[in-house]
Structure 1
Amino acid sequence: MKAILLKETGGPDMAKYTEVEKPVPSIGEIVVKLKNASLNRRDVFITYGMYPSIKLPSILGADGAGVVESVGDGVESLCQGDEVVINPALQWGDDIRFSSSEFHTLGMPTDGTYAEYVKISCENVYKKPPYLTWPEAAAIPLSALTAYRALITRGELTKGETVFIPGIGSGVALFALQIAVAKGAHVFVSSSSDRKIERAKEMGAAGGMNYRTDGWVKALKNEMGGADIIIDGIGGETFKDLVQLASPGGRIVNFGATAGPVPELVLPRVFFKHLDIRGTTMGSPQEFADMLTLFEQHEIRPVIDKQFPLEDAVSALKYMEDGDSFGKIVLNIE
């Protein structure tokens, strides 16, 4: 079969379109013939070696959707021909509060979805919501699961609360916007792009601010009146702005640090406001199932920015790296 294989780090150009052996399911496993896969920022980080416990060679890709090709012994929940979407959070464990020491994500070290076929435990495969197209189904898993857990489980979102999402345009940020709007929250966003802010408003955001504008933090605080929940995947210097934007008793839920460590956080600004700072990443099988149910109830559709053929995955990774996308980047495999 054809796949995108990473044998050594050094950036997206090190990912090669090549022929590899088609997988065969073992006990409790299935093989999915993939229709589409989608990109995540972790894929770019892996090509540079900027991810914990790099083990190569590996086929990249966490997200995918397709048709069950074959099933191993002991599989009763699925059969050949089923249309499915893959949960890339492997071996979460029994405690919904946090993942187990065996937890890892599909796409390194376990071979992933940038391929014609992928082998995976049947426990990580769910029926595709019928209202979704194949590209839409493939765009959901990692980012939507991350957003769902950040907002619902860790953020404890309730109807009518105010949510702030910095850096709108990424997959997780947009899913967080869609989930929060579906739950009846008032959502505000930020971006360096006025175009992205306007598109977020079209999707239900109540307002937004360009963070390159002088005094944007004060202006946003005046507009939204403080945030009950802030969903952050950026970290870095801007984290201090989030402390200022949070309402007393607010929750800041962080799932990433694309801007690096947080420098010189003034703790009195945290404890005098009685803030909760909560970490999160990915999610449990139950949260994945609950996320799909919510999406079906509200017919939430992913925003897809651009599609590339599988053989052009390097260009797709570079396009993601440029950072100008609004929504998910999808690979067409068939």
Structure 2
Amino acid sequence: MQAVVLREFGSAEVLRPGVVPDPAAEPGWVTVRLEAAALNWHDVLVRRGQYRSPLPHVLGADGAGVRTDTGEDVVIVPSLWWGDDESAPGARFEILGDHRPGTYAELVRVPADCLAPRPAGYSWAEAAALPLVGLTTYRALFTRARLRAGESLLVLGAGGGVATTAVALASGVGASVVVTSSSRVKIDQARALGASGGVLYAEAGWERAAKELSPGGCGFDVVLDPVGAWPEALAALRPGGRLVVLGASAAEHARVDVRKFYFGQYSLLGTTMGSPRDFAGLLRLLDEHSIAPPVIDRAFPLAEAAAAHRHLEQGGGFGKVVLLHG
């Protein structure tokens, strides 16, 4: 089958079209003929060698296509072997595309319980863009932070897939949402998704400016931090608020005033991509509320995966980058 093959770790240019064997049949696993795949920053880290994937390798966690055994339209849930404990993934957990061939190919083979129906009305690109960011964001906001209608949410770094999904999901269930961004254009785009406003994080004191946009200026119930800005995020919370952390793209270490933390009665919640049961909860949420599909920033043909990775790494986009297989 045709695929994009990683034969060495490095820059985007190491992603080249090639031919690899079709997936072999295996009991309990299903082959999907892919129509689209979506990029995630996780793919960039795999490409760079951070996850020590076997070489040659096919990247890609997200995808949507047609089951070859039943003809059903499906999306792929890239959470493999989460385990029975919903509080955290088990020792066998891995993300599709880390060590097993992923979705940058015509075909992919996954466990049968890692498939879900394509949501009604979703294009192939939108369906492919949903799983990883949808699952990650749903777990962060609803399983971990317990966000409810009527509460307030600050999303750090509007523009990426998690941030745009967070705005859509939170506003869709009746929470008020404010974002931070590097540009006024992205803030306006977030408003179109349901945010009430935003602040520029490059400006000094942005956390105070954001807090002023919270209900009564008292701080947010929840701050979603995919970047690692803990001190500023805590400063934007109300007393007793929850900081939920799912990334460290800007900083891998943080200094926190311990006394202020415990006197503020804050909760600090770490989270990662969720379980198949979280994904079932996401699909129920989409059925019960009017929530826009994932925002597509740009689509590339599968053979142009290197260009898609360059576009993702340059930043500046709003929404998801996808690969179309047709």
TM-score by length of 2: 0.96
* CA distance in structure 2 between the partners assigned to 1:197 and 1:34 by the alignment: 33
1:183 to 146, 156, 173: 173
In the alignment, the residues of structure 1 paired with residue 54 and residue 140 of structure 2 have an alpha-carbon distance, to the nearest angstrom, of 28
Q: Match of 2:17?
A: 17
Q: CA deviation at 1:155?
A: 0.5
Please say if residues 169 and 291 of structure 2, whose CA atoms lie closer than 8 Å, have aligned partners that are also in contact: no
Measured in 1, the distance between the counterparts of 2:205 and 2:75 equals 44
Q: Provide the rounded CA distance (Å) in 1 between the counterparts of 2:200 and 2:142.
A: 27
SS at match of 2:179: strand
Please state how far the C-alpha of 1:223 moved relative to its aligned partner.
Answer: 2.1
Distance in 1 (CA, whole Å) between partners of 2:296 and 2:311 is 13
8 Å CA contact 1:3, 1:19 repeated in 2: yes
Matched, 1:218 2:208: yes
Question: Deviations 1:222-249 (Å, cap 9, x if unpaired)?
Answer: 22121111111101xx321001111111
Q: Unpaired segments of 5 or more residues in structure 1?
A: 71-78
Q: Distance in 2 between matches of 1:131 and 1:65?
A: 14
Cα deviation, residue 293, structure 1: 2.1
Residue 73 of structure 1 corresponds to none
Contact 1:63 1:139 in 2 (8 A): yes
Q: Does 1:229 align with 2:228?
A: no
- For residues 1-334 of structure 1, the aligned pairs below 5 Å read 1-49=1-49, 51-70=50-69, 79=70, 81-224=71-214, 225=217, 226-235=219-228, 238-297=229-288, 298-334=290-326
Cα-to-partner distance string for 1:148-203 (whole Å, 9 max, x where unaligned): 00000001011111100000111011111111011111101000111000111111
Note closer, same or farther for the CA distance 1:319–1:243 as it changes in structure 2 (3 Å cut).
same
Q: Quick one: distance in 1 between partners of 2:281 and 2:192?
A: 26
Q: What whole-Å deviation, never above 9, does each CA across 1:197-219 have from its counterpart, x for those lacking one?
A: 01111111111101122332222
Q: Residues 43-81 of structure 1, C-alpha deviation per residue, up to 9 Å, x if partnerless? A: 1111112x34443332100000001113xxxxxxxx2x1
Instruction: List runs of 5+ in structure 2 lacking aligned partners.
Output: none
Supply the AA of the counterpart residue of 1:203.
Answer: L
Q: Name the SS for the 1:59 alignment partner.
A: coil
Distance 2:306 2:86 in 1: 35
Letter in 1 for 2:92: E
Matched AA of 1:65: A
Contact 2:51 2:98 in 1 (8 A): no
Letter in 2 for 1:311: A
- Larger CA deviation: 195-204 vs 206-215: 206-215
Q: What do the CA deviations read for 1:80-104 (whole angstroms, capped 9, x no partner)? A: x111110000000001111000000
Letter in 1 for 2:7: K
Q: Does the aligned pair in 1 maintain the 2:78–2:95 contact within 8 Å?
A: yes
Counterpart amino acid of 1:123?
D
In 2, the alpha carbon distance for the partners of 1:89 and 1:83 equals: 19
RMSD after superposition = 1.2
Q: Distance in 2 between matches of 1:11 and 1:47?
A: 8
SS of residue paired to 1:58: coil
Partner Cα distance (1:166, 1:263) in 2: 16
% of aligned pairs identical?
41
Cα contact 1:56–1:108 (8 A) shared by 2: no
1:99 is paired with a residue of what secondary structure? Answer: coil
Aligned residue in 2 for 1:75: none
* d(CA) in 1 for partners of 2:267, 2:9: 37
Residues of 2 paired with 1:255 and 1:326: CA distance?
A: 19
Q: What SS does the corresponding residue of 2:37 show, helix, strand or coil?
A: strand
Q: Is the 8 A contact 2:158 2:164 kept in 1?
A: yes
**CA displacement, residues 106-150 of structure 1 (integer Å, 9 cap, x when unaligned):** 012111000000011111011111211111100100001000000
Closer, same or farther: CA 170–27 of 1 in aligned 2, 3 Å: same
Deviation at 1:299, TM superposition (A): 4.6
> SS where residue 190 of structure 2 aligns?
helix
